[in-house]
């Protein structure tokens, strides 16, 4: 992918990701390749590779690069995996996933954001992404089970439909906690057993839906 900012992305990998423990070479390669600046509005492009989240409209944000890399790495994706993402937003995390696995299913509740994300997928010729506008807290039963599930908005608990739609073995990552502070949680399903591991304290926008926070 030749699309500008190549050196900036390599610097991001070396300065923001490797020193903080992102070691999966496939994830580092994806972060060095996917043009993050194309996912934000033009005025914000010079800041697209900064060490912080940025607004994407509708009161939502694109996550900090390090958090995108950390969540992706925690899923230990294999080339043949099928992944469910809840919270497409601008589609940047989706694009990272799509370069690493076979098929990404992504759900976004705000239609205007999904429309923008789809334009980005077309622009980058990412053809292994299936998306829909819906409440993702109920998952996407039609395509379950998923080898991995990523939720990019914070909820009070892990939605039960997502636990059920996770394959065995399978890995899920999600920010879980209060509306203003969450713990980045990895849920592992293995031989019918569930185990949890907490990685880091984070602050995500709200997961709004039937198995998340109530819409105001």
Q: Catalytic amino acids?
A: 63
User: Which residue, judged by CB position, is nearest to ligand SAH in the bound state?
Assistant: 89
Q: Between residues 190 and 201, which has the closer beta carbon with respect to ligand SAH?
A: 201
H/E segment holding residue 71: helix 65-74
* Exposure of 18 in the CB half-sphere (CA atoms within 13 A): 12
Binds ligand SAH (CB under 6 A): choice among 93, 103, 120, 185: 93
167, exposed or middle or buried, with CB in 10 Å at 0-12, 13-18, 19+?
middle
- The interface region with ligand SAH, picked from 10-18, 41-49, 104-112, 123-131 by CB under 6 A, is 104-112
Sign of the Cα torsion 77, 81, 87, 90 reads positive
Measured distance CA(6)–CA(37) in Å, rounded: 11
Q: Between residues 61 and 103, which has the closer beta carbon with respect to ligand SAH?
A: 61
Count of H-run helices and E-run strands, the chain: 6, 9
Q: Between residues 94 and 103, which has the closer beta carbon with respect to ligand SAH?
A: 94
Binds ligand SAH (CB under 6 A): choice among 34, 56, 69, 77: 56
Phi/psi of residue 158, nearest 5 degrees: -75, 125
Given its phi and psi angles, is residue 114 left (phi above 0), alpha (psi -120 to 50 degrees) or beta? alpha
H/E segment holding residue 160: helix 160-165
Q: Between residues 45 and 169, which has the closer beta carbon with respect to ligand SAH?
A: 45
Q: How far is the CB of 79 from ligand SAH (least distance, A)?
A: 21
**One symbol per residue from 126 to 165: x for binding ligand SAH (CB under 6 A), - otherwise; what is it?**
---------xxx--------------xx------------
Q: Is 124 in the site for ligand SAH (CB under 6 A)?
A: no
Using alpha carbons only, give the angle 57, 187, 198 rounded to the nearest 5 degrees: 80
Q: Is 86 in the site for ligand SAH (CB under 6 A)?
A: yes
- The interface region with ligand SAH, picked from 21-29, 101-109, 177-185, 191-199 by CB under 6 A, is 101-109
Q: Is 207 in the site for ligand SAH (CB under 6 A)?
A: yes
Q: Between residues 154 and 170, which has the closer beta carbon with respect to ligand SAH?
A: 154
For residue 66 the two structure tokens come to: 């390090």
Phi/psi of residue 193, nearest 5 degrees: -105, 145
Could you list the residues that contact ligand SAH (CB under 6 A)? 56, 60-63, 86-87, 89-90, 92-93, 107-110, 113, 135-137, 152-153, 205, 207-209, 212
């Amino acid at each position: 992918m030749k699309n500008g900012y190549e050196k900036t992305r390599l610097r991001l990998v070396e300065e923001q990701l490797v020193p903080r423990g992102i070691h999966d070479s496939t994830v580092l390669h994806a972060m060095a390749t996917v043009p993050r600046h194309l996912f934000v509005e033009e005025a914000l492009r010079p800041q697209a590779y900064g060490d912080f989240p940025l607004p994407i409209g509708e009161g939502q944000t694109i996550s900090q690069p390090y958090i995108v890399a950390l969540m992706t790495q925690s899923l230990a994706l294999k080339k043949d995996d099928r992944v469910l993402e809840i919270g497409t937003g601008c589609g940047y995390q989706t694009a990272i996933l799509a370069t690493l696995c076979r098929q990404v299913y992504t759900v976004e509740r705000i239609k205007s954001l999904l429309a923008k994300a789809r334009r980005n997928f077309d622009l980058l010729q990412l053809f292994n992404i299936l998306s829909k506008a819906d409440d993702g807290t109920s998952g996407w039963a039609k395509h379950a089970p998923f080898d991995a599930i990523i939720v990019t908005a914070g909820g009070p608990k892990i939605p039960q439909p997502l636990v059920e739609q996770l394959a065995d073995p399978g890995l899920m990552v999600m920010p879980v906690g209060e509306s203003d502070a969450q713990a980045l949680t990895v849920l592992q399903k293995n031989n019918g057993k569930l185990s949890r591991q907490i990685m880091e304290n984070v602050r995500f926008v709200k997961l709004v839906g039937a198995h998340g926070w109530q819409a105001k």
